[in-house]
Amino acid sequence: MHKSLSSSESKCCRVCVSLGIRSYSIIIGPNAMEEAVIADHIFGHRLMVVTNEIVERLYFETVVQNFKDFQVDKIVLPDGENIKTLEGLNVILSALLKGRHDRTTTLVALGGGVIGDVAGFAAAVYQRGINFLQVPTTLLAQVDSAVGGKTGVNHALGKNMIGASHQPSIVISDTMTLKTLPKREFAAGLSEVIKYGLIADKCFFDWIEDNLDGLLSHDSNLLTYAIRVSCQIKASIVSQDETEQGHRAILNFGHTFGHAIETFLQYRDWVHGEAISVGMLMAMRLSVLLGGISETDFERLKVMLKRCGLPTSPPRLMTVQDFNLNMMRDKKVMGGQLRLVILETFGLATVTAEYGASNLQKVLTINCVAQ
Ligand code: NAD
Ligand code: GLY
């Protein structure tokens, strides 16, 4: 049950991602950086902080205070999804080489999911892998992208198509950083929080519904709690299926539709969580057609997403054909067959190829205004 909160939520809490000798902690809460014993997670004496121009201005000086005993270099990338490319990766690798960094350097990914993904990928491939820390500063990164070790970049022909699995040695999620997050980015992060309720914990969904106003006004206790539960759900799934041989794919609920939107828009105009908002509604509609979800629950989700200020229908110019084309480039396509994540029931997701092609086309037709 998710009930009212005690004042202890205003302090930091810890969630463990259990992966044998590669297990690590996620520290969550206000001033989490001070709680984390960072030195325990750095093996050499050199650090490379990878961040972007916005986050650098806001948080670099504060973060560096915690690295006083180390030699710190930094790479400041431009803002935006468009640096999550092989070119962006090359900028990081070149800076590491020019600075003569060796395998004992620890890389620190300071920023949202874009920085976390591209910097994590650089850590995975630089000299066949170096240590890295995730210091996520968006809600989306704190509840999702910084946890679980998926790193990578986009290709013009598909989202997240090039990457590696590389776990951080710690994730430090300072909830105070969310205070400066633009409203739109905060809402985008909430879409992933809502996802956890849908795929794994109906009571958590009920709790979000009851506490949404508080979450939207950045209540610190509620936020820490929502991030903690989200991370617990993700950590549990990742611990069972780190390399996504099966079950982990449920974390991609709505993402096949969402990634198709992002690819169609060439990673411009919409942010990731907005595309996922629409994608989840489309996956929910498919689940209604398959009989696992009621019309009432579909409407509950729609109302919740609207309350967050998230979009509930695809870009106006996107056609059924655009979806079909871009969805077939999803990583869940196997042997030419697209698999999708659906809800068997509220709070229980599964990945399946047995959704019926006509049901999928019905979902696309209902949702696309353009033909
Ligand atoms: P983002 O990294 O682009 O950050 C969003 C915006 O907020 C940016 O403009 C950024 O500069 C700014 N920002 C970051 N922190 C801030 C702060 N504290 N205050 C003010 N502004 C701040 O976007 P995102 O939503 O964090 O991440 C999206 C990316 O994450 C996508 O590329 C997506 O594919 C990826 N992702 C990866 C995984 C994974 O498992 N690896 C999971 C989900 C999403
Ligand atoms: N965001 C999906 C995953 O980590 O598997």
Domain identity same for 124 and 213: no
Domain identity same for 192 and 285: yes
Shortest-distance atom of ligand 2 to CA 234: 4
Residue pair 75/135 in contact by the 8 Å Cβ criterion? no
- Is the distance from the beta carbon of residue 188 to the nearest atom of ligand 1 less than 6 Å? yes
Domain boundary residue, one of 125, 153, 179:
179
What CA–CA distance (Å, rounded) separates 151 from 92? Answer: 14
Domain identity same for 72 and 210: no
Q: Which residue among 52, 131, 221, 252 is the active-site one?
A: 252
What CA–CA distance (Å, rounded) separates 329 from 310? Answer: 25
CATH code: domain of residue 61: 3.40.50.1970
**46 given a catalytic annotation:** no
Domain identity same for 215 and 130: no
Q: What is the pTM of this model?
A: 0.95
Domain identity same for 213 and 245: yes
Q: Which residue among 101, 228, 272, 339 is the active-site one?
A: 272
Domain boundary residue, one of 179, 211, 229:
179
**218 given a catalytic annotation:** no
Domain identity same for 129 and 199: no
**192 given a catalytic annotation:** yes
Q: What is the mean pLDDT of residues 326-352?
A: 92
Shortest-distance atom of ligand 1 to CA 148: 40
Name the least confident of 154-168, 239-253, 328-342: 328-342
Domain identity same for 223 and 325: yes
- Is the distance from the beta carbon of residue 185 to the nearest atom of ligand 1 less than 6 Å? yes
Q: Determine the pLDDT at residue 311.
A: 98
Q: Determine the pLDDT at residue 7.
A: 46
What CA–CA distance (Å, rounded) separates 237 from 194? Answer: 16
Domain identity same for 36 and 152: yes
Where residue 371 falls among pLDDT bands split at 50, 70, 90? low
Non-local (6+) Cβ contacts of 35 within 8 A are 12, 27, 29
The DSSP letter of residue 178 is G
Taking CA atoms only, the protein residue closest to ligand 1 atom 40 is 145
Structural domain boundaries enclosing 190: 183-369
In the numeric block, which tokens belong to residue 123? 């850590």
CATH code: domain of residue 276: 1.20.1090.10
Taking CA atoms only, the protein residue closest to ligand 2 atom 2 is 251
pLDDT in tens, 248-264: 999 999 999 999 999 99
pLDDT in tens, 68-83: 889 999 999 999 999 9
Helix (H) or strand (E) holding 109: strand 106-111
pLDDT in tens, 335-346: 889 999 999 999
- Using the mean position of ligand 2's atoms as its centre, give its distance from the Cα of residue 100 in Å: 33
Q: What is the mean pLDDT of residues 18-31?
A: 96
What CA–CA distance (Å, rounded) separates 164 from 183? Answer: 31
